[in-house]
A and B are shown apart, each in its own frame.
Chain A
């Protein structure tokens, strides 16, 4: 038995926490990558805004787009709904009304995380302390995951939790792929074209250099989803754009791939009541994914395809609300 209102709060609590963790991972990985790049090579922090889906919100309030402005906005700005600090606060607010269904330690972990982020968020902006702050957000989130998987009854509340977490994670992976991979594929294509048309000049060296940095960027992208090591284990050969995209979208074995998340979503929904109303939305997402294989090398098409997957995930979320919350009214 799970109250509709509680289900709604749990679902969003799980999503907000996943968003906090994912944002922390992305910012941390992006910081590491940019430090590796030479001065002058694509050192803009704006893609981070695009990944977080908050470019417009940022531009409305900020004239400057320096690193600290953007990182502050994404990590420490409580007025930004999607920032790490705000996501944790929303999660805590949601979970405060679901304490009776979560293991007690789970609430304590969320509360710890909230107290820490509310107090120390500014240290997540300064480069010297950024990794430590973001690392703690990530490890506390992992601790929560451990508490839940290790101590929580496999009941409806648990399935709702898994569902919210997987939907948010799938959404984040599509945004990383849509923004970062699409941009990288586009620049790679452009570099190749430039190299061909000016073959007589000394572009060979620069081209090689950019390729090297491309690899750094692809690695950074994998890192931002904590996928680098698993990619290396799962894939033979060097890191290629196509390989990375295909791993992040289709590899069922990787828990942060879109396919991996869809598996968890299906499994959760099939254990929850009235799956006949929610599972068809998963079919839509899966159909979009399987139609995509051919486009994997084309940046612009990939970006658009990711938009469509995100919209389908939005419809899935709406179906979850209609089925579990609205239908009982």
Chain B
């Protein structure tokens, strides 16, 4: 097991030395007091997320553990390069899929997989977003295995959330550990919203001098509403709902203001593809804007992420990313994928079938863990069933070795204990690229648990990129 702060000999890792020393000096009761104060700050600052219970959304205080997760700056720079490389390839891939599909013609990506993709949108064929970029904002989940290798676990390209908590966690942890921030150089995270604003503005149609950028939210009942509001506030952009927008006869998008209609140039949408435009996707969607796709195709408005970008947010495409990097960029991946065996290929399928007891088997096109099998926790009957499923429809299955996620010291009921963590950095792509300094560290607060989702008992930590 790899711990983020402590090495195998029980000594602090170099970048974490100051934090570990401070934790020892403070002692548990002082630490608990600071934790309590941080929680008060979170309530007072109204930092919340929404959980659903009995069909009602309840606003909960954001769960936060004050002990930071520390990453050395030189390691982080390599991760950053790897993430940017990844997104360049992914964007080239999406753009290719909606144009000539060279990647299929050249035999790199199987045509059959695209036919089965639930996130490919034929409505987007032939559209050319600026810079060839479709996935402008990506949240990639990283995990570290027992040997310390950092892997990409998945790329969230549709409406990834969590970045507001990166900034809020930092604000809270500066209060909790002001002295540590004074002593060492911890990379700031605040620039994100400025970078986001600049990137979004750069997407505006070319003839617009001073573009109007808006954030499109499904509304206050969405679990990420806090973040939508936060980002709009930080960018000084209007936070709009579908009903605030209207597409005119001129195929331009307008918002309804107290002074009549005003033109919108860029939409940072936090609404899923299928709800964007009831004229072209789900006709029952009340969250979208009729005619929006028409305006987008006409080039009168930019949408980030572009409709259809989700085609690459998929366990199948994930497995191909190293090949895509090679194909489009003629480079080797700087940041490894978790080795992923694609059952559509005979040799890889055989490996899965031979080692199924030590694999996580995932259906390619389902999300939310449905149909997922963890080999070493499954019964013989479950394993046999999985084998039968794979053999019946190999295209629909991928498998990965079981990773042992790294841990970080976490304050649990007055004691410091190791808990499993992951990391979600955010990558912006426009004319250039930008990666958050660190990202959102999510922590599974229950002992032994690997579930980091805040809706299921997960918490969060501030992530410190420390110069050593």
A99-B229, A104-B233, A108-B44 as given contacts; A273 in contact with B240, CB under 8 Å: no
CA distance A115 to B47 in the complex (A): 13
Which A85-102 residues have C-beta < 8 A from chain B? 96-97, 99-100
Residue A329 CB within 8 A of the other chain: yes
Interchain nearest-CB distance for A215 vs B (Å): 44
Assess whether A1 is in contact with B220, with CB atoms less than 8 Å apart.
no
Residue numbers in B under 8 Å from A156 (CB-CB): 258-259
A274 contacts B by Cβ under 8 Å: yes
B417 contacts partner chain A, Cβ-Cβ < 8 Å: no
User: Please, what's the 1-or-0 string for A105-128, where 1 marks a CB less than 8 Å from any CB in chain B?
Assistant: 001100110010000000000000
Q: Which of A2-10, A61-69, A309-317 is found at the contact surface with chain B?
A: A2-10
Q: Which of A253-299 contact B (CB under 8 A)?
A: 272-274
CB pair A328–B256 under 8 Å, yes or no, is yes
Q: Is A247 engaged at the interface, CB distance under 8 Å to the other chain?
A: no
A324 interfacial by beta-carbon distance below 8 Å: yes
Contact B244 A115 (CB under 8 A): no
B46 and A107 contact, CB distance less than 8 A: yes
The 0/1 profile, CB within 8 Å of A marked 1, for residues 233-264 of chain B is 10011111101100000000001111111100
> Is residue A42 within 8 Å, beta carbon to beta carbon, of the partner chain?
no
Overall SS of chain A's interface: helix
Please state if B258 and A97 are interface contacts (CB–CB under 8 Å).
no
Is the CB–CB distance between A5 and B46 below 8 Å?
A: no
Contact of A5 among B43, B237, B241 (CB under 8 A): B241
A100-B237 in contact given A1-B257, A7-B258 (Cβ < 8 Å): yes
**Cross-interface CB contact of B229 among A7, A100, A273, cutoff 8 Å:** A100
Among candidates B44, B236, B257, residue contacting A3 with C-beta atoms closer than 8 Å: B257
A100, A111, A112, A328: which contacts B257 (Cβ < 8 A)?
A328
Centre residue among B44, B220, B239, B240 by max chain A CB count within 10 A: B239
Tell me, yes or no, whether A35 is within 8 Å of chain B by CB: no
Instruction: Report if A327 contacts B (CB, 8 A).
Output: yes
Question: Whole-angstrom distance from the CB of A76 to the nearest CB of chain B?
Answer: 21
Q: Is the CB of A115 within 8 A of B43?
A: yes
Least distance between B254 CB and chain A CB atoms (Å): 9
A162 shortest CB reach to chain B, Å: 14
Residues of B198-255 contacting chain A, CB below 8 A: 212, 220, 229-230, 232-233, 236-241, 243-244, 255
Structural contact, B232 and A4, CB atoms closer than 8 A: no
**Across the interface, do B44 and A111 meet the contact criterion of CB distance under 8 Å?**
yes
Q: Are A3 and B255 in touch, CB under 8 angstroms? A: yes
CA distance A323 to B257 in the complex (A): 10
Given A3-B240, A96-B220, verify A273-B258 contact (CB < 8 Å): yes
Query: Which residues of chain A from 1 to 40 have a CB within 8 Å of any chain B CB?
Result: 1-7
Q: Of B212, B239, B259, which one neighbours A273 at CB under 8 angstroms?
A: B259
The residue from A104, A107, A325, A328 contacting B261, defined by CB atoms under 8 A apart: A328
Name the residue among A5, A100, A160, A323 with the largest chain B CB count within 10 angstroms: A100
Are A100 and B258 CB-contacts (below 8 A) given A108-B45, A111-B46?
no
Residue in contact with B260 in the complex, picked from A111, A160, A327, CB distance below 8 Å: A327
On whether the beta carbons of B44 and A100 are closer than 8 Å, the reply is no
Complex: A4 Cα to B236 Cα, angstroms:
17
Q: How far, in angstroms, from A31 to B173 measured CA to CA in the complex?
A: 45
A306 vs B241: C-alpha distance in the bound complex, in angstroms? 40
A112 to B43, CA, bound (A): 9
Nearest residue, chain A, Cβ from B230: A99
Question: Which residues of chain A are within 8 angstroms of B238 by Cβ–Cβ distance?
Answer: 1, 3, 6, 100
Given A100-B237, A104-B233, A329-B256, A1 and B262 contact (CB-CB distance below 8 Å):
yes
Chain B residue nearest to A115 (CB atoms) is B43
State which residues 255-294 of B face A: CB under 8 Å.
Answer: 255-262
Judge whether B45 and A324 touch: CB under 8 Å. Answer: no
Indicate whether A115 sits within 8 Å of B44 (C-beta atoms), given known contacts A3-B256, A328-B256.
yes
Q: How far is the CB of B264 from chain A (nearest CB, A)?
A: 10
Nearest residue (CB) in B for A323 is B258
Pick the most buried of B44, B233, B258, B261: most chain A CB atoms within 10 A of its CB.
B258
Provide the residues of chain A in CB contact with B233, threshold 8 Å.
Answer: 99-100, 104
Q: Is the CB of B237 within 8 A of A2?
A: no
Query: How distant is the Cα of A83 from the Cα of B261 in the complex, in angstroms?
Result: 37
Which residues of chain B (373-431) have a CB below 8 Å from chain A?
A: none
CB contacts (< 8 Å) of A112 on chain B: these are 44
Q: Which residues of A contact B258 (CB under 8 A)?
A: 2-4, 7, 156, 160, 272-273, 323-325, 328
- Shortest Cβ distance from B421 into chain A, in angstroms? 29
Task: Please give, as numbers and ranges, the residues of chain B lying within 8 Å of A7 by CB-CB distance.
Answer: 258
Which residues of chain B are near A325, meaning CB under 8 Å? 258
Report A140-162 residues with CB < 8 Å from chain B CB: 156, 160
Which residues from A are CB-within-8-Å of B256? 3-5, 328-329
Q: With a CB–CB cut-off of 8 A, which chain B residues contact A273?
A: 258-260
User: A6, A160, A323 — which one has the most chain B CB atoms within 10 A of its CB?
Assistant: A6
How close is B44's CB to chain A, nearest CB, in angstroms? 6
User: What residues of B have a CB within 8 angstroms of the CB of A274 in the complex?
Assistant: 259
B244 partner residues in chain A, CB cutoff 8 A = 3-5
Shortest CB-to-CB span from B165 to chain A, Å, is 16
Give every chain B residue within 8 A of A100 (Cβ-Cβ): 229, 232-233, 236-239
> Which residues of the other chain, A, contact B236 by a CB distance below 8 angstroms?
100
Interfacial chain A residues near B237, Cβ < 8 Å? 100
**How many whole Å from B193's CB to the nearest CB in chain A?**
12
A328 surroundings in chain B (CB, below 8 A) = 256-258, 260-261
Distance, CA A102 to CA B407, complexed state (A): 40
Q: Which residues of A contact B261 (CB under 8 A)?
A: 328
**In the assembly, what is the distance between CA of A272 and CA of B260, in Å?**
12
**Complexed CA–CA distance, A250 and B244 (Å):** 41
Q: In the complex, A325→B258 CA distance in Å?
A: 6
Q: Which residues of B contact A97 (CB under 8 A)?
A: 220, 229, 239
9 closest A-B pairs by CB:
A328-B256, A273-B259, A100-B232, A324-B258, A100-B233, A111-B46, A99-B229, A100-B239, A7-B258
* B interface residues, Cβ below 8 angstroms from A: 43-46, 212, 220, 229-230, 232-233, 236-241, 243-244, 255-262
Interface residues of A (CB under 8 A from B): 1-7, 96-97, 99-100, 104, 107-108, 111-112, 115, 156, 160, 272-274, 323-325, 327-329
A-B contact pairs, 19 of them (CB 8 A): A1-B212, A1-B238, A2-B257, A3-B238, A3-B244, A3-B255, A3-B256, A3-B257, A4-B257, A5-B241, A5-B256, A108-B46, A111-B45, A111-B46, A115-B44, A156-B258, A272-B258, A274-B259, A327-B260
Additional 16 contacts, C-beta under 8 A, given A3-B244, A324-B258: A1-B212, A3-B257, A4-B257, A97-B239, A99-B230, A100-B239, A108-B44, A108-B46, A111-B45, A112-B44, A273-B260, A274-B259, A325-B258, A328-B256, A328-B260, A328-B261
